[in-house]
Amino acid sequence: MARLVDEKKLGWDTLVKDVLPDFKHSNPIITEVLTIADILSHRCGLAGSGTMSLSFQGDGEMLLPRDSLFDLINQFPILFPIRQSWDYFVWGYSLAGEIIERVTGKTLEEYVSTSLTGPLGMKDTSFKLSRLDPERLAQPYAALSDGTSHHLQHRQVFEGTFFEASGGLFSTVNDLITWATATLDAIDGEESGVLKEIPNIISNHAAIMNPSIRERSYGFGWARTQLPGSVGVIGDNFSLWSLKDQPALGDKDHPLLMLYHQGSTVGYYAHIALFPDTKSAVVVLSNSIALTDAPDWISRATIQTLFDLKDGHDYALLAAEANSRQMAEYDTLARQIAKKRESCSDAVKPPPLEALVGRYASKSKPFFIDILLGSPESGDKTLELRFQGLQIESYELRYLCENTFEWSLSHDESKKRGRYNMAELEYFLFEFTLKDGKPISFTWVTDPGLPEHPEEFFLVAPEGGGSQGPTSEELKK
């Protein structure tokens, strides 16, 4: 994107709608004012977490077609007024990828490889798996509650999907060190001719969780923190402590500016940190979904040693504490389910399971859920849900209370399916609406942070939930 700005083909203040006319948000103010800078700095104020639940439900499958991107984003709820706060919005980089392809007339892979990774000599970095040596590609794993590793059978590949730009790049430590070196050189004004606009890219464009005495902000693709300070705001560990209780990295004798970013997908986590004052970089890549964000802890421990920071933290112990906190969330979920089931009145009879069988579809999004009778081997009658009708996306759906059913998972069940951590009760509840004993629809809180915006799925094919839905390849198309 920065090269296109340098070539005067775009500006950081270019309106998204001027490049992507299909972007027409339901709130016309968003449509008229949203800029490239807004989507790159996560300050647009749109909430896309709920639709992430429709995009991904484990096992490496992408559940929504690429051509649905604008229909989805145009419906996103508003989380806060534009530019008034910061919230990580992965969809913004999906829009950025569309902008690059629209302006250049090339695919994202073609443009990035010819203008960035190729000239920098990053030969092991690509959006296309076919360009990489399969023998050197790390296999994905997940960590189970006892600390053992589980080999994931399905790798998440974003090539050809609307998340290609935001999470589809494969790379190595060596290549990322090459990129980090070029970035640090460009910060000092030693541009290689490849990287452009680096001062703008690393500048403060959005404050993160004010108030903050020290720097804590976001640039374009980089979080900024003045040490000592709270780091890891993009990763999984941050939510395990309150903001005031975050274990700060660094000490007052080392007031370093830290630029960093974190990323993850099924079986892979990453952390990269730059220190312009010393022209240092730390890169950590892992091929597992650990109990918590392991590259974050490894990076902090490495940085502590690199600069001899006296922050008093033992990051191995903090990692263990984080693991305990994460596991406790799943224990809490199990207790909540059990308590709700036990408190349900015996006078309330569940609806006949056979009556709920069918296909339920969203009226506004290309997403449906099939509900079938469970396998007879399970003994008691149960239901089975299938996201987008895919057998690989099947989960047991159990009666909870009144017209509510649940499909909660233990930590290990979740990780074996290649899922991210999720232990919010509301997320695992389907609440059915019935008329004269027959189902009309059910609601599902796809984003526990916005329970007031549940997704509703309407029965469109009674007893029609047994047919196989589209394949993942068909969904990509």
User: 472 pLDDT band (50/70/90 cuts)?
Assistant: very low
Judge whether 87 lies within some domain. Answer: no
Judge whether 45 lies within some domain. Answer: no
Give the Cα separation of 359 and 175 in Å (integer). Answer: 47
Judge whether 387 lies within some domain. Answer: yes
For residue 220 the two structure tokens come to 């374009």
Nearest by Cα to 111 from 124, 98, 94: 98
User: 381 pLDDT band (50/70/90 cuts)?
Assistant: confident
Residue type, 405: F
* Percent helix / strand / coil, the chain, rounded to 5: 35, 20, 45
How many structural domains comprise the chain?
1
Judge whether 283 lies within some domain. Answer: no
CATH number of the domain encompassing residue 462:
2.40.128.50
In this model, does residue 149 exceed pLDDT 90?
yes
Judge whether 309 lies within some domain. Answer: no
Judge whether 404 lies within some domain. Answer: yes
Judge whether 369 lies within some domain. Answer: yes
pLDDT at 463: 72
In this model, does residue 473 exceed pLDDT 60?
no
Give the Cα separation of 440 and 477 in Å (integer). Answer: 30
For residue 151 the two structure tokens come to 């080999």
Burial class (CB in 10 A: 0-12, 13-18, 19+), 90: middle
pLDDT at 350: 84
234-277 pLDDT, tens digit per residue, is: 999 999 999 999 999 999 999 999 999 999 998 999 999 999 99
405 forms beta bridges with 399, 430
User: 348 pLDDT band (50/70/90 cuts)?
Assistant: confident
Residue type, 34: L
Average pLDDT for the chain: 94
What average pLDDT does range 192-218 have in this prediction? 94
60-88 pLDDT, tens digit per residue, is: 999 999 999 999 999 999 999 999 999 99
User: 417 pLDDT band (50/70/90 cuts)?
Assistant: very high
In this model, does residue 220 exceed pLDDT 60?
yes
**Phi, psi of 221, deg, nearest 5:** 85, 10
pLDDT at 477: 45
CB under 8 Å to 182, separation ≥6 — which residues? 120, 192, 194, 195
Judge whether 374 lies within some domain. Answer: yes
98-128 pLDDT, tens digit per residue, is: 999 999 999 999 999 999 999 999 999 999 9
- Read off the DSSP letter of residue 256: -
In this model, does residue 134 exceed pLDDT 60?
yes
Identify the domain containing residue 407 by its residue range: 353-476
